[in-house]
């Protein structure tokens, strides 16, 4: 009985909320600027919650049946993370990267210094048998006169918490491109006033690429780590479509000698 009452009340509240939204949508054209600003802020807050629900649902429902789901994680791994753009649908699936920085998702942005701005970024569905996640990410470059093009991926708090110089940090990519391109992975660790930036070259031929960073050689202060991000730097990308099918980051403590 209690369950039925709760269900009835939830339905009643939902109907009232739907009716209120419909009424506000009809009245929006006649509101003054003060009321419109308040309504816009409320609508944006509601949309963020709805987008989170949709993204989580897509992550859970779209992955089964595609590939093996996760790569082979090394023994002893204490943190593993696949960023959101490769897990579920984004609210905005594409953009023209005309500016020097284009935000793609909460933890992902594209940077370049090309004055032409002829770069298109978009999320795509992975549909091949070998794909291990439902979504991928495309970077399509037309004319390019800049000196750099990179995707910057901010590590979440879970990846930074407890990060020590005894850790090995591993980045695994699955990348297809219309022609071979040279790419690098650069780990950036901000600790106090200092910034450590170890770089790893990625193989050109293989579509599955691994970069591994031994933080013992990064000269970091464990107690002052503030943030960390990974740059995927792509060289000679003019007139090329680069398909980043998957990205997985993980870390594990180095074996003690």
Domains of the chain: 2-62 (no CATH), 79-253 (2.60.120)
CA 222 to chain centre: 25
3-class SS of residue 163: coil
Phi first, then psi, for residue 165 (nearest 5°) are -70, -10
- The pLDDT of residue 64 is 44
How many Å apart are CA 56 and CA 90, to the nearest integer? Answer: 10
How many Å apart are CA 34 and CA 45, to the nearest integer? Answer: 17
- The pLDDT of residue 5 is 63
CA atoms within 13 A on the CB side of 223: 0
Q: Model-level pTM? A: 0.74
How many Å apart are CA 39 and CA 216, to the nearest integer? Answer: 52
Residue 146 CB coordination number (10 Å): 17
**What are 168's two structure tokens?**
């090995």
Q: Which pLDDT tens digits describe the chain residue by residue (257 residues)?
A: 556 666 655 666 677 777 777 787 877 778 787 777 887 887 777 776 676 666 666 655 555 444 455 667 888 899 999 998 898 888 887 888 888 899 998 899 999 998 888 899 999 988 887 788 889 999 999 988 888 999 999 999 999 999 999 999 999 999 999 888 999 999 999 999 999 999 999 999 889 999 999 999 999 998 999 999 999 999 988 899 999 999 999 999 987 65
Q: Determine which helix (DSSP H) or strand (DSSP E) holds 94, and give its type and residue range.
A: strand 94-96
**What are 188's two structure tokens?**
């950036």
3-class SS of residue 103: strand
How many Å apart are CA 140 and CA 94, to the nearest integer? Answer: 11
CA atoms within 13 A on the CB side of 61: 7
How many Å apart are CA 82 and CA 84, to the nearest integer? Answer: 7
Phi first, then psi, for residue 223 (nearest 5°) are -80, -5
Handedness of CA 149, 154, 159, 165 (dihedral sign): positive
Q: Residue 212: which of 198, 233, 226 has the closest Cα? A: 198
Which residue has tokens 């970024």? 121
First-to-last alpha carbon distance for the chain, in angstroms, is 63
> What are the C-alpha distances in Å from 60 to residues 64, 92, 126, 257?
8, 19, 15, 41
What number of H helices and E strands is found in the chain?
Answer: 3, 14
């Amino acid at each position: 009985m209690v369950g039925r009452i709760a269900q009835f009340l939830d339905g009643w509240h939902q109907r009232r909320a739907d009716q209120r939204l419909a009424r506000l949508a009809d009245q929006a054209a006649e509101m003054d600027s003060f009321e419109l600003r308040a309504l816009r802020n409320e609508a944006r807050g509601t949309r963020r919650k709805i987008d989170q629900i949709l993204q989580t649902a897509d992550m859970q429902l779209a992955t089964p049946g595609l590939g093996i789901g996760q790569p082979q994680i090394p023994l002893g791994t204490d943190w593993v993370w696949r960023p959101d753009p490769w897990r579920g649908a984004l609210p905005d699936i594409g953009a023209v990267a005309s500016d020097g920085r284009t935000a793609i998702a909460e933890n992902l942005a594209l940077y370049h210094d090309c004055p032409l701005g002829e770069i298109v970024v978009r999320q795509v569905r992975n549909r091949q048998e070998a794909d291990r996640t439902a979504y991928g990410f495309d970077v399509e470059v037309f004319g390019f006169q800049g000196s750099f093009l990179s995707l910057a991926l901010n590590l979440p708090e879970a990846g930074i918490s407890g990060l020590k110089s005894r850790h090995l940090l591993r980045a695994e990519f699955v990348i297809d491109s219309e022609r071979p391109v040279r790419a690098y992975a650069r780990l950036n660790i901000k600790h106090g006033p200092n910034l450590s930036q170890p770089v790893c070259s990625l193989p050109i031929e293989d579509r599955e690429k691994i970069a591994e960073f031994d933080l013992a050689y990064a000269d970091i202060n464990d107690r002052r780590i503030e943030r960390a991000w990974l740059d995927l730097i792509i060289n000679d990308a003019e007139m090329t479509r680069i398909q980043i099918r998957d990205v997985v980051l993980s870390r594990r403590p180095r074996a003690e000698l």
